């Protein structure tokens, strides 16, 4: 579905990604793990067009992402839940969800998508008229995921969904990810919380210092000694 | 003696409210532009001036009816607002904010002198005399009532647009997080153009209303431009509610000040009040400053 | 460095000697105007270069011009005393408006808009007090017969040329003095990051106020001299938003970060206005400002450092880029 080939990217003179290649197949859940500053967020931003790579290619179902204007990429079926959620704090929950359905194709199905998201997160239905910035971190994360789902995407990019959340809430968020992917959605998830993420994904890549250092099935990664030592603390 | 004075006072208070409607409309337009695009159009009142000339020519030269001319004038100024953004602001979006402000100062020069060159410096009016409404011993001109009503309708329309439509929601969202708008599938450039056109349309509406009450000349913008800026600063730039409240506050000061002296002194009083307010309630001013 | 001093002395001597050699009254008139306006534009850039973009200088200029003439006409106070009084008024006005602005951290957009309103208000006051000031029709100082030192009225343009030259040179000296002083470092720190400057022990409010008052006083002096020289002032020529913007425009065109930038701006704008006036005659009304406006926009978009600023930058570092 999504294919990155030797992508280089950075901010100004600072290089963040070096020759990253990865692919995500339809229906899969894929994780990217690695330490802080490894370039995980940059990778997500490159896919959704917030940053343009200096080298390499990105294709979504055969369409060249790099030739698509940033605001059209969501129309290819890529929805990005950014790091730190980035809700519009002074808009209501419903208005935030509305923004997720901004593109013409999604507007037509707005009522139907809203119902879908409210089914998935009944909490959001209760809070639909509340300012998004006044909710708890976990609720905000639900709202952010809901906003991304409003566009009826084929591929969901999740950037550190567990960051800054209480352990109980982290558990809930990963439960959610499981439910979302059981609905047939393809998921690419970036996480520092390696233990948890490897429970929900099929495959994972290890990103260190801007390069892919290892990849394999979630089970294989969990058993890998070097990963266990570096990230699981065993 | 006291009774007559009371009546004048009440008349001035009500006239102040009526004036406040139009000022609130202008403040809304300016706040909208600032809130979304983060620039201040200091030529905003000059857009109104152009709209007033548009009305004057359509009504006086082409013999159009006032109500037929008004929508065209609104569209004209809306187009002018979009053009202003496209030609002047868009190339400066990454420049220092103060440069954007100064460039619109250049536009102020251009519009004023364009009007001087094209229309001359004579004072012109529509020649429409609306009746005066007498209520007891008080007198209110229909033009002011109409202006107040239309300004209110205009503001309600903007409110509905901003809350009910996707584009309106995007306009509100963009000032809260500019970078991620692309993730929503929003083309910020387009939203900027729409916002500029909407800001222009509000100036156009104000022009249609002001031309009923005031003569138009190339420098007419100077008589309400500064007061609009004070309103926006006092209410907090980009803060719609603050601007609305401040507009009525200032309108009352101008109207009551004008009761005791000339209208110009009303403006001076408003400025003095503004300086005073900055000492007393600076936090209100800084509410939305980053 | 010595060479530079000699160069300045030679140019200075040549400028002083000029009217004794060349006395064409029209050209002298233009030169006097250029010098007075250069001084006004220089005074704007004294604060403008630190990011304190004031659009209220039309107000200060109007106070300088009108207070001086009003005192002379109504109370018979000589401009020699009237000008200092006018300067005090302008300085007080600057303090009253700027103090709350700086105290409560009103900067950038906000400061520009507040000061913009100030110049609008001064214009309104002049118009409103039309019984004393002649309103929008303008105002003339009462004439004494011939030149009169006490009344600061001189028929001889050479005298005015020398006065204007002196004041202009003084303006440049003040610019340099600020440029060399500790204030400059303080102000640069403030314009970069106010909080950091305050943390480093800079008294932010005081430094800004000092620069603003200096700038306002200079501008008021320019207004007073303009009124005495032209023997006619009107709200539109010495006050209001248009005059404020004109100052910004000339300073930006010339370059606000170099001492002679505003002077170059004055030369360009005044010559432009004169050429348009001669070329179009009375039809020129409005055209000069139209051209100004377009040029201002183009300069800000394409040459934000100004003509002289860009030229010097290019001369200084031809190797860079």
DSSP notation for chain A:
-EEEEEEEEEETTEEEEEEEEEEE-TT-EEEEE--TTSSHHHHHHHHHTSS--SEEEEEETTEEGGGS-GGGGGGGTEEEE-TT----TTSBHHHHHHHHT-SHHHHHTHHHHHHHHHHH-HHHHHTTTSBGGGS-HHHHHHHHHHHHHTT--SEEEEE-TTTT--HHHHHHHHHHHHHHHHTT-EEEEEES-HHHHHHH-SEEEEEETTEEEEEEEHHHHHH-HHHIIIII--
Write out the residue range of the structural domain in which residue B193 sits. 2-120+142-285
Residue B33 lies in a domain: yes
Q: Is the pLDDT of residue B57 over 70?
A: yes
Cα dihedral C169, C172, C174, C178 in deg (nearest 10): -160
Interface test with A, best of B174, B177, B184 (most A CBs within 10 A): B184
pLDDT of C167 reads 95
Q: Is the domain of A195 the same as that of A110? A: no
Distance CA B113, CA B123 (A): 15
Residues 6+ apart with CB under 8 A from A200: A29, A31, A174, A177, A178, A181, A189
Q: Is the domain of A62 the same as that of A165? A: yes
Q: For residue A86, which residues of chain B lie inside 8 Å, CB to CB? A: 177, 180
Q: Is the pLDDT of residue B58 over 90?
A: yes
Q: Is the pLDDT of residue B141 over 60?
A: yes
Q: Which among A97, A127, A152 is the end of a domain? A: A152
Cα nearest neighbour of A95 on chain B: B169
Q: pLDDT tens for residues A6-39?
A: 999 988 778 889 999 999 999 999 999 988 888 8
Q: Which helix (H) or strand (E) holds B138?
A: strand B138-141
pLDDT of B199 reads 96
Split into its structural domains, chain A has a count of: 2
Q: pLDDT tens for residues A180-192?
A: 888 889 999 998 8
Q: Is the domain of A148 the same as that of A196? A: no
ipTM: 0.87
Find the radius of gyration of the CA atoms of chain B. Answer: 19
Q: Is the domain of A117 the same as that of A144? A: yes
Q: What is the mean pLDDT of chain A?
A: 90
Q: For residue B98, which residues of chain C lie inside 8 Å, CB to CB? A: 51, 53, 108-109, 112
Interface test with C, best of B31, B113, B282 (most C CBs within 10 A): B113
Mean pLDDT value across residues B80-101 = 90
Return the CATH number at B206. 1.10.3470
Residues of A near B (Cβ–Cβ under 8 Å) read: 48-50, 69-75, 79-80, 82, 86, 88-91, 95, 98-103, 106-107, 147, 151
What crossing angle do the helices spanning B44-56 and B188-213 adopt, rounded to 10°?
A: 60
Bridge partners (DSSP) of residue A80 are A157
CA distances A139 to B59, B182, B184, C48, Å, are 57, 23, 20, 48
Chains A and B: 3 or more CB pairs within 8 Å of each other: yes
Q: Is the pLDDT of residue A116 over 90?
A: yes
* Nearest in space to A32 (alpha carbons), one of A181, A174, A190: A190
pLDDT of A35 reads 85
pLDDT of C39 reads 96
Region of poorest pLDDT, from B4-18, B125-139, C67-81: B125-139
Q: Is the domain of A60 the same as that of A107? A: no
Q: pLDDT tens for residues C225-272?
A: 999 999 999 988 888 888 998 898 888 888 888 889 999 999 988 888
Residues 6+ apart with CB under 8 A from A171: A196
**Selection from A96-100, C12-16, C237-241 with the highest mean pLDDT:** A96-100
Chain-centre distance for alpha carbon C258: 15
Predicted TM-score of the model (pTM): 0.86
Distance CA A180, CA A119 (A): 12
Mean pLDDT value across residues C139-149 = 80
Return the CATH number at A38. 3.40.50.300
Q: Which among A152, A169, A187 is the end of a domain? A: A152
> How many B-C residue pairs are in contact by the CB < 8 A criterion?
164
Cα nearest neighbour of B187 on chain A: A71
Split into its structural domains, chain B has a count of: 1
Chains B and C: 3 or more CB pairs within 8 Å of each other: yes
pLDDT of C321 reads 43
Neighbours of chain C (3+ CB pairs under 8 A): B
pLDDT of C190 reads 82
C300 vs B25, more confident:
B25
Binning pLDDT at 50, 70 and 90, where does residue B288 land? very low
What is the number of other CB atoms lying within 10 angstroms of the CB of residue C192? 11
DSSP-assigned letters across all residues of B58-126: IIIIS---HHHHHHHHHHHHHHHHHHHIIIIIGGGTTS-HHHHHHHHHHHHHHHHHHHHHHH-S--B--
Distance CA A98, CA B170 (A): 9
CA–CA min distance B101, chain C (Å)? 7
Interface test with A, best of B185, B287, B288 (most A CBs within 10 A): B185
Q: Say if residues C178 and C208 touch (Cβ distance below 8 Å).
A: no
Chains A and C: 3 or more CB pairs within 8 Å of each other: no
Binning pLDDT at 50, 70 and 90, where does residue B290 land? very low
pLDDT of B283 reads 57
Bridge partners (DSSP) of residue B133 are B140
Q: pLDDT tens for residues C272-311?
A: 888 888 877 766 677 877 887 888 889 888 888 777 778 8
Mean pLDDT value across residues C106-128 = 85
Distance CA B110, CA B89 (A): 15
pLDDT of C236 reads 85
Q: What is the mean pLDDT of chain B?
A: 87
Write out the residue range of the structural domain in which residue A163 sits. 2-77+154-232
């Amino acid at each position: 579905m999504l294919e990155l080939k030797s992508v280089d990217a950075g901010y100004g003179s600072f290089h963040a990604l070096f020759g990253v290649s990865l692919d995500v197949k339809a229906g899969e859940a894929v994780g990217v793990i690695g330490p802080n500053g490894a370039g995980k967020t940059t990778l997500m931003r490159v896919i959704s067009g917030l940053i343009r790579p200096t080298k390499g290619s990105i294709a979504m179902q055969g369409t060249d992402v790099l030739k698509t204007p940033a605001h059209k990429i969501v129309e290819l079926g890529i929805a990005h839940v950014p790091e730190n959620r980035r809700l519009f704090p002074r808009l209501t929950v419903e208005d935030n969800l509305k923004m997720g359905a901004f593109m013409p194709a999604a507007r037509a199905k707005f009522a139907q998508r809203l119902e879908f998201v409210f089914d998935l997160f009944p909490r959001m239905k209760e809070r639909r008229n509340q300012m998004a910035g006044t909710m708890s971190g976990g609720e905000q994360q639900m709202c952010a995921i809901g906003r991304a789902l409003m566009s009826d995407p084929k591929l969901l990019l999740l950037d550190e969904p567990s960051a800054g959340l209480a352990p109980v809430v982290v558990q809930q968020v990963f439960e959610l990810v499981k439910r979302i992917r059981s609905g047939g959605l393809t998921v690419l998830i970036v996480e520092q919380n390696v233990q948890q993420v490897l429970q929900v994904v099929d495959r994972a890549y290890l990103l260190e210092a801007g390069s892919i250092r290892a990849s394999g099935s979630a089970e294989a990664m969990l058993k890998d000694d070097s990963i266990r030592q570096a990230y699981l603390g065993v | 003696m006291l009774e007559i004075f009371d009546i004048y006072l009440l008349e001035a208070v009500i006239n102040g409210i009526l004036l406040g409607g139009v000022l609130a409309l202008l403040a809304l337009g300016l706040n909208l532009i600032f809130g979304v695009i983060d620039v201040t159009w200091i030529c905003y009142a000059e857009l109104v001036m152009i709209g007033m000339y548009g009305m004057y020519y359509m009504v006086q030269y082409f013999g159009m009816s006032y109500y037929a001319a008004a929508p065209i004038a609104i569209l004209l100024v809306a187009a002018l607002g979009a053009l202003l953004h496209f030609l002047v602001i868009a190339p400066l979006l990454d420049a220092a904010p103060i440069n954007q402000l100064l460039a619109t100062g250049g536009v102020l020069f251009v519009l004023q002198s364009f009007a001087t060159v094209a229309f001359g410096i004579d004072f012109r009016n529509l020649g429409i005399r609306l009746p005066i409404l007498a209520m007891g011993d008080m007198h209110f001109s229909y033009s002011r009532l109409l202006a107040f009503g239309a300004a209110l309708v205009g503001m309600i329309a903007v409110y509905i647009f901003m809350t009910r439509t996707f584009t309106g929601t995007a306009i509100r969202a963009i000032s809260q997080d500019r970078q991620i708008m692309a993730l929503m599938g929003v083309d910020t450039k387009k939203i900027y153009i729409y916002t500029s056109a909407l800001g222009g349309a509000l100036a156009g509406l104000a022009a249609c209303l002001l031309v009923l009450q005031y003569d138009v000349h190339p420098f007419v913008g100077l008589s309400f431009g500064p007061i609009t800026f004070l309103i926006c600063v006092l209410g907090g730039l980009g803060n719609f509610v603050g601007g609305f409240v401040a507009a009525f506050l200032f309108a009352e000061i101008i109207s009551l000040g004008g009761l005791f002296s000339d209208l110009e002194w009303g403006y001076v009083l408003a400025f003095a009040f503004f300086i005073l307010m900055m000492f007393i309630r600076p936090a209100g001013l800084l509410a939305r400053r980053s | 460095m010595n060479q530079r001093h000699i160069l300045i002395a030679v140019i200075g001597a040549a400028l002083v000697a000029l009217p004794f050699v060349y006395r064409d009254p029209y050209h002298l008139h233009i030169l006097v105007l250029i010098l007075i306006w250069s001084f006004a534009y220089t005074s704007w850039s004294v604060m403008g270069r630190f990011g304190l973009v004031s659009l209220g200088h039309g107000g200060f200029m109007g106070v300088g011009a009108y207070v001086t003439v009003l005192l002379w006409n109504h109370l018979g106070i000589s401009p020699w005393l009237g000008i200092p009084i006018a300067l005090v008024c302008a300085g007080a006005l600057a303090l009253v408006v700027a103090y709350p602005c700086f105290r409560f951290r009103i900067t950038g957009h906000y400061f520009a808009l507040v000061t913009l309103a100030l110049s609008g208000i001064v214009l309104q006051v002049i118009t409103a007090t039309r019984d004393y000031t002649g309103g929008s029709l303008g105002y003339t100082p009462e004439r004494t017969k011939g030149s009169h030192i006490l009344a600061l009225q001189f028929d001889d343009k050479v005298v005015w040329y020398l006065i204007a030259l002196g004041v202009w040179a003084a303006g440049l000296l003040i610019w340099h003095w600020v440029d060399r002083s500790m204030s400059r470092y303080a102000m640069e720190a403030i314009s970069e990051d106010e909080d950091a400057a305050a943390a480093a022990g800079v008294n932010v409010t005081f430094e800004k106020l000092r620069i603003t008052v200096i700038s306002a006083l200079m501008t008021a002096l320019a207004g007073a001299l303009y009124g005495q020289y032209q023997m006619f002032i009107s709200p539109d020529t010495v006050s209001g938003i248009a005059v404020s913007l004109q100052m910004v425009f000339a300073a930006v065109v010339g370059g606000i970060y170099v001492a002679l930038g505003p002077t170059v701006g004055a030369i360009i704008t005044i010559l432009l206005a004169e050429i348009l006036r001669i070329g179009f005659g009375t039809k020129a009304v409005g055209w000069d400002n139209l051209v100004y406006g377009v040029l201002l926009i183009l300069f800000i978009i394409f040459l934000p450092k100004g003509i002289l600023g860009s030229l010097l930058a290019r001369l200084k570092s031809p190797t860079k880029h």
